[in-house]
Chains A and B, each alone.
Chain A
Amino acid sequence: MAIGKETTAWRITMPGMLTTVQDAGRIGYQQYGMPVAGAMDGESYRLGQRLVGNDTDMGALECTVMGPSFISEGPAVIAFTGADMSPAVNGAPVPMNTPLAVAPGDEVTTGFASYGVRMYIAVRGGVRVTPVNGSVATHGKSGIGGFKGRKLQKDDVLTVARTVEVPQLHVDPDYEGPFNGTTPIRVVLGPQHERFTKEARHIFFTSPYLITPTSDRMGYRLAGQALTHTDGADIISDGAVFGSIQVPSDGQPIILMADRQTTGGYTKIGTVITPDLPRLAQMPVETTIHFTEVTVEEAQALYREYKEREASWVQTKEKAVSLLYSSVLPWGETEKRLSIRNDSYV
Chain B
Amino acid sequence: MGIQASSGGTSDMTTALTFAPVGDCALSAVFGDTISPDINKRIRHVVTALSEETASGIVEMVPTYASLLVVYNPLIVSYEELCHHIQCIAADAKSGETSDTVRIVEIPTVYGGEYGMDIENVCNHTGLSESEVVAMHSGTDYLVYMLGFIPGFTYLGGMNQALATPRLSTPRTLIPAGSVGIAGAQTGIYPSESPGGWQIIGRTPLTLYDGSKEQPTLLSAGDYVRYVPITEEEYQRIAALGSGYTVTVHEVKERELNGNR
Contact = CB atoms under 8 A, between A and B. Distances in A.
A269 to B, nearest CB: 11
B259 interface: no
Contact of B28 (A34, A237, A239): A239
A29 to B, nearest CB: 6
Interface residues of A, number: 45
B38 to A, nearest CB: 14
Contact of A238 (B60, B64, B216, B220): B64
A236 interface: yes
Question: Considering residues B23, B30, B148, which has the most beta carbons from chain A within 10 angstroms of its beta carbon?
Answer: B23
B22 interface: yes
B217 interface: yes
Given A33-B153, A265-B3, A296-B79, A237 B62 contact: no
Contact of B21 (A27, A239, A271, A303): A271
B84 to A, nearest CB: 14
A303 B149 CA distance: 29
B78 interface: yes
A160 B133 CA distance: 53
B30 A191 contact: yes
Given A28-B60, A190-B22, A236 B151 contact: no
Interface residues of B, number: 50
Given A236-B64, A237-B64, A297-B79, A304 B74 contact: yes
A268 B30 CA distance: 14
A236 B3 contact: yes
Contacts of A262: 62, 147-149
A299 interface: yes
Given A32-B216, A237-B155, A261-B149, A244 B22 contact: yes
Contacts of B211: 34, 132-133, 144-145
B168 to A, nearest CB: 20
Interface stretch (B65-73, B196-204, B239-247): B65-73
Contact of B23 (A236, A265, A273, A297): A273
B25 interface: yes
A82 to B, nearest CB: 21
B2 A265 contact: yes
Interface of B: 1-3, 20-26, 28, 30, 33-35, 59-69, 71, 74-75, 78-80, 146-153, 155, 191-192, 209, 211-212, 216-217, 220-221
Given A32-B220, A300-B79, 16 more contacts: A32-B147, A32-B217, A33-B150, A33-B217, A34-B209, A34-B216, A35-B151, A188-B22, A190-B20, A192-B20, A261-B149, A262-B62, A268-B22, A271-B23, A300-B78, A304-B74
Interface of A: 27-35, 132-133, 142, 144-145, 188-192, 234, 236-241, 243-244, 261-263, 265, 268, 271-274, 296-297, 299-300, 302-304, 307
